[in-house]
Every structure is written in C-alpha cells, then in structure tokens.
C-alpha cells in the first residue's frame, strides 16, 4: 500500500534557484507499507526532489525493505529528500554494475542496518547530505567502486560512520565531517582503495587514525579493542582472513 500526504509547513529557502515567498508551502510525504517505497531497475531513470519518503512495516511482515532500491542498471537521483525505513536494512541501497546514483542535500536517518549501501559494482556520488542515527552511515562493499562522498555530515551512527570493504572498491572522501559515531569514524578493509582529503574525523570512540605494526588489524585485535572498553579509533584499517 502506497500513499502520499501533504502537510502545510512554514516556508523556508531551499536554494537551487528556487524562490519561495512568504506564507506556506507543501510537504509531500510518500509512504509505502511492507515493500520498498521506490524500487527501480533495468535501465530505468528516476529523479526525486523534495519528498519525505519512508518504508513502513506492519506487524504481519517478516521481510525487510529499503526505502529506496536502485539495481541492475538503473539511474537514480535524489535531491532534498528526507528518507528512512522501519525495516532492519539500509535506507537507500544502490547495487549492481551500470547502476548509478547521485544523492544530494538529503537527510538519511534511522536505518537499523544503515543509511546508504553501495554494492556489487554500482557507482554513486553523495554530496551535502545529513546522514545520522543509522546502524552504519555509508557502506561500500565488495565490488562497489568509484564512489565519492563529498561535504556530507555523518554523525551518531550506532556503529561505523563509513565502511569501505573489498579489493575492487575505490572510494574518495572529501570534506566530510564524520563525528560522534559509536565505533570507528571510517573503516577500510580487505585491500580497498580509499582517498581521504579534508575530512574532520572526531568523537568516534578514540579520536585518532590507528594502524597495527603491519598496517593491518586482525579479528582478534579488532574485537579486543571493543570488548575491553577502549573504544574505536577515528579510522580503522583492517584485513579479515
């Protein structure tokens, strides 16, 4: 079941050349129950601007759904959207080769698993987003590549701010503020290639960049750090296996 609701809200400037006068504007909410709010695949191109989108879960549903899922060659653009899901998964999931996404000026929050997942060869650019109160802020996993995070604010995740995982992953982080996450601000694992420029990484367990003597961290050392109550570093570089 999908529904849209409009609520009158006080007007405020939104930029991008759009001018709003005094008075009221409309908040448009797009809600879906027990499935993705927006799912696109197979070379479909969709652009969404200025909507509050949520995937809601009923008591009878045992599956999990992202709010937005782009897959199998789709092209996605999200701008000025508020995005969340009630399911134990990522709010936004971008997957498969030839799938591309541009996510800008959005608020992505309260995903139990995470905020944004980029995987299986997909490409994405995230710019000027507020990503907060998720399990993981942004996850770039095996064979996800050419991912750019620029000028985002990633804070108060229950685990990592950003996770980059896999030998074919190429991620660039520029001018992001990564703060107050419960575990490491940035985790880079399994020979991923990460370029960081101008990113304040602070308040994430222990506020520092940390490597083991070999430049890698084993499972044992990784978990010992956590369970002994020493917190997590600002950046954690590991190799599992």
DSSP class per residue in 95-137? ESTT-EEEEES-EEE--SSEEEEEETT-EEEEES-EEESSSEE
> Which DSSP category does 188 fall into?
E
Q: With cut-offs at 50, 70 and 90, classify the pLDDT of residue 237.
A: low
Residue from 145, 28, 39, 144 nearest 85 by CA: 39
Contact 200, 173 (CB under 8 A): no
The contacts of residue 15 (CB under 8 Å, 6+ apart) are 105
Neighbouring C-beta atoms of residue 61, cutoff 10 Å: 14
Q: Averaged over 174-196, what is the pLDDT?
A: 88
Residue with tokens 């997942």: 117
pLDDT at 6: 41
Contact 223, 199 (CB under 8 A): no
Judged on CB neighbours under 10 Å (0-12, 13-18, 19+), 107 is middle
Query: What proportion of the chain, given as a percentage, has pLDDT over 90?
Result: 50
For the chain, the average pLDDT equals: 79
> Which DSSP category does 234 fall into?
S
Three-state DSSP state, 28: strand
Specify the pTM.
0.80
Q: What angle do CA 234, 239, 241 make, to 5 degrees?
A: 145
Q: Tell me the pLDDT tens digit for each residue of 80-131.
A: 999 999 999 999 999 999 999 999 999 999 999 999 999 999 999 999 999 9
pLDDT at position 222 over 90 = no
pLDDT at position 225 over 60 = no
Q: Tell me the pLDDT tens digit for each residue of 45-54.
A: 999 999 999 9
Q: With cut-offs at 50, 70 and 90, classify the pLDDT of residue 61.
A: confident
pLDDT at position 219 over 50 = no
Q: Higher pLDDT residue, 16 or 3?
A: 3
Q: Alpha helix locations (H) across 142-234?
A: 219-227
User: d(Cα 241, Cα 216) in Å, to the nearest integer?
Assistant: 11
pLDDT at position 168 over 60 = yes
Q: Averaged over 197-211, what is the pLDDT?
A: 70
Q: Tell me the pLDDT tens digit for each residue of 120-162.
A: 999 999 999 999 999 999 999 866 568 999 999 999 999 999 9
pLDDT at 235: 65
User: d(Cα 123, Cα 144) in Å, to the nearest integer?
Assistant: 7
User: d(Cα 232, Cα 55) in Å, to the nearest integer?
Assistant: 31
Expressed in angstroms, the distance from the first to the final Cα of the chain is 44
Which backbone phi and psi does 222 adopt, to 5 degrees?
A: -60, -50
pLDDT at 233: 60
């Amino acid at each position: 079941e999908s529904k849209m609701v409009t609520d009158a809200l006080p007007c405020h400037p939104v930029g991008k050349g759009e001018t709003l006068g005094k008075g009221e504007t409309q908040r448009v909410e797009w809600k879906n129950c027990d499935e993705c709010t927006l799912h696109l695949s197979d070379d479909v191109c969709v652009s969404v601007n200025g909507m509050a989108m949520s995937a809601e879960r009923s008591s009878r549903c045992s599956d999990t759904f992202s709010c937005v899922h782009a897959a199998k060659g789709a092209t996605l653009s999200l701008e000025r959207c508020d995005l969340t899901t009630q399911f134990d998964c990522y709010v936004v999931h971008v997957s498969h080769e030839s799938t591309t996404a541009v996510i800008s000026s959005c608020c992505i929050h309260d995903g139990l698993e995470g905020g944004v997942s980029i995987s299986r060869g997909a490409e994405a650019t995230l710019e000027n987003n507020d990503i907060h109160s998720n399990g993981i802020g942004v996850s770039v996993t095996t064979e996800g590549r050419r991912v750019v995070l620029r000028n985002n604010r990633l804070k108060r995740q229950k685990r990592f701010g950003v996770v980059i995982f896999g030998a074919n992953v190429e991620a660039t982080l520029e001018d992001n503020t990564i703060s107050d996450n419960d575990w490491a601000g940035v985790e880079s694992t399994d020979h991923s290639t990460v370029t960081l420029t101008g990113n304040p990484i602070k308040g994430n367990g222990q506020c520092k960049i940390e490597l083991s003597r070999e430049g890698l961290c084993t499972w044992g050392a990784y978990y010992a750090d956590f369970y002994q109550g020493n917190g997590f570093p600002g950046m954690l570089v590991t190799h599992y296996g």
